[in-house]
Chain A
Amino acid sequence: MISPLLAAIVEPLSYTFVLHGLLAGLLAALACATLSPFVVWRGMAFVGDALAHAILPGIVVAFALGISLFFGALGAAVLAVAGIGLFSGGGRLKEDTAIGVIFAGFFALGIMLLSRMVSYQDLSHILFGNILGVSTKDLASMAVVVLIVILTVALSFKEIVVTSFDPSHSVAIGLSPDLIRYGLLMLLALTTVVAIQTVGVVLVLALLVTPGAAASMISRRMSRILFWSVLFSVAATVTGFYTSYYWDIPSGSAIVLTLTVIFLVTWTVSAAFRHRHARGPRSARGPR
């Protein structure tokens, strides 16, 4: 006998476009949650958000030309990152200023191109996501991106951690912090393209920041933070997806709100825990 709950979960998936939507959401969740702890701990939230907006012109051009959105987005991301490096190089401008200038300029260019090239419907899909419009081909390219992100992070985990934690030591052992930084920015750009499909340009930041932030509330080890980040992200995507389906609210907003609730819960629990055990760790620390 199938319980009503199980039926409620399985029934929507009998529609291909719904199944595709859920898969797309899960892929985006995986890619974003893998990068999220690094975005949080390296302080890359602003540049992540900027990149998510800066790829807009690339996506619009690619959309209009009928070529792969990934290449369009990646092209725009490379240009944006190069521009940020150029303007902040030599110490004449602080990096966040350069990011701000590029971010706003690229996004404005994207909006202008959008108004000339594509319909209002498409605009709303790019800005807020269109989780139910994912084709099999889209899914395949999203899966490739997710694979690239996860493999890169898995294979260079120790290098990403050491450059984040201690740049002097990294240079001393011949590992360039810039190389890792630009590599992460490229992964962020790729990930953003995947996430735009589900939550749109405007809410990508939530997928990049909130899972890592919530995970950081319950562990102080990078490997565990990574684990919890992925778990929270996947759980929020599934919950948000079904909420969106049954209550007819936008999927991006449902997913992000679920993530936000998870963060609030972890934050509250961690604050309460720290309050209760405030004397514990400190007295255990003791003088040496």
Chain B
Amino acid sequence: MILNTLRYGGTCRVPAVPDTPALAVDNLTFSYPGADGPVLETVNLLVHPGDRVALVGPNGAGKSTLLKLILGLEQQRTGTIDVYGHPAHTCLHRVSIVPQRTSVDWQFPVTVRNVVTMGRYVHLGWFKRPRSEDKDRVQDALEAMEIADLADRQIGELSGGQQQRVMLARTLAHDADLMLMDEPLNHVDISTQELMFHTLERLTSAGKAAVVSTHDLGILTVHFNRAVFLDRTIIADGPVEDVLTPETIAKAYGFEFHKNYPHQNHTPSEAPR
């Protein structure tokens, strides 16, 4: 029962086990209740601190489901998911999410600063208001994402790129060690993309890990050090240049790749700069 397994605002008593993967998914199989077959089948994945992993695959490949299972949004039944040496959800401070744009109500009456402050809630818990330390962290995150001047705006007034910066600022305020992002690149302008990747590079070189789901193959070559092709199970996994071959792309997107994704036909060669 999901109510029992969640502990909000608790302190993180277990230290990260040294020299363990940031994320270890072992033999994970998952199907939605009432569905015909599994969405994910014997998925094995290791993400190490410092990794910047692109999770690639066609729509319905199970990318979001995998992220949801790591977060605990869906209950896992077979296989194990470990985060820094402990079962997932042992320590909620360590994992953050940038959710898919459509899962958030952008018209909701909250300001940019309100949303970024939500990244601190995991450190606060019930009844506690943000302390001055939390406010400083929020301000730092706003400045890092260059949206400090928008802090008092309602989030619906922002452009798509600005909204995604707000979500990334919230992840910065959360201060997690494993950052999950579900399609953060949709409807995002180039300068926001650059800022996002710059920030990700800074964080991962400091030892954090990031798993970013995307169906935009063009950005892979420059911005990630590893790509994982997922289509129900892992089709290819390795350094971007090894993984990004016409064979793996055709396999990941099936033989109808050219039919279904004509606009992405040339994307790999159009990699920005």
On A, residues with C-beta under 8 Å from B are 37, 41, 90-92, 155-156, 158-159, 161-162, 164-169, 171-176, 178-179, 216, 219-222, 225, 281, 285, 287-288
Contact = CB atoms under 8 A, between A and B. Distances in A.
Given A171-B6, A288-B191, A162 B121 contact: yes
Contacts of A41: 105, 108-109
B203 to A, nearest CB: 17
Interface string B75-100: 00000000000000100100111011
Contacts, number: 112
Contact of B170 (A169, A179, A281): A169
A222 B2 CA distance: 28
B112 to A, nearest CB: 11
Nearest to A225: B109
A219 B152 CA distance: 13
B121 A222 contact: no
B97 A164 contact: no
Contacts of A216: 109
Interface stretch (B16-24, B155-163, B223-231): B155-163
Nearest to B72: A171
Given A172-B92, A174-B89, A288 B108 contact: no
B3 interface: yes
A222 B100 CA distance: 23
Given A91-B33, A173-B92, A168 B154 contact: no
B179 to A, nearest CB: 11
B66 to A, nearest CB: 14
Given A90-B33, A91-B33, A159-B126, A169 B109 contact: no
B3 A178 contact: yes
Interface stretch (B7-15, B44-52, B241-249): B7-15
A282 B9 CA distance: 39
A220 B162 contact: no
**What DSSP secondary structure best describes chain A's contact surface?**
helix
B34 A91 contact: yes
Contact of A158 (B3, B121, B158): B121
Contacts of B72: 171-172
13 contacts: A37-B109, A92-B34, A155-B126, A156-B127, A166-B103, A168-B73, A168-B103, A168-B104, A169-B118, A173-B9, A174-B9, A220-B109, A221-B114
B8 to A, nearest CB: 4
Contacts of B105: 41, 164-166
Given A169-B99, A174-B8, A288 B154 contact: no
Contacts of B95: 172
Interface residues of B, number: 47
Contact of B121 (A171, A173, A179, A221): A173
Contact of B122 (A173, A219, A221): A173
The 3 closest A-B pairs by CB, nearest first: A173-B122, A168-B99, A220-B154
A155 B126 CA distance: 8
Contacts of B100: 168
A281 B104 contact: no
B27 interface: no
B110 interface: yes
A166 B129 CA distance: 19
Given A90-B34, A168-B73, A288 B159 contact: yes
B48 to A, nearest CB: 21
Contacts of B34: 90-92
A171 B72 CA distance: 7
Contacts of A176: 2-3, 6, 8
B169 to A, nearest CB: 13
Nearest to B67: A168
B97 A168 contact: yes
Nearest to A165: B108
A171 B170 contact: no
B71 interface: yes
Nearest to B74: A171
A221 B127 contact: no
B143 interface: no
Given A166-B118, A281-B157, A285-B159, A175 B191 contact: no
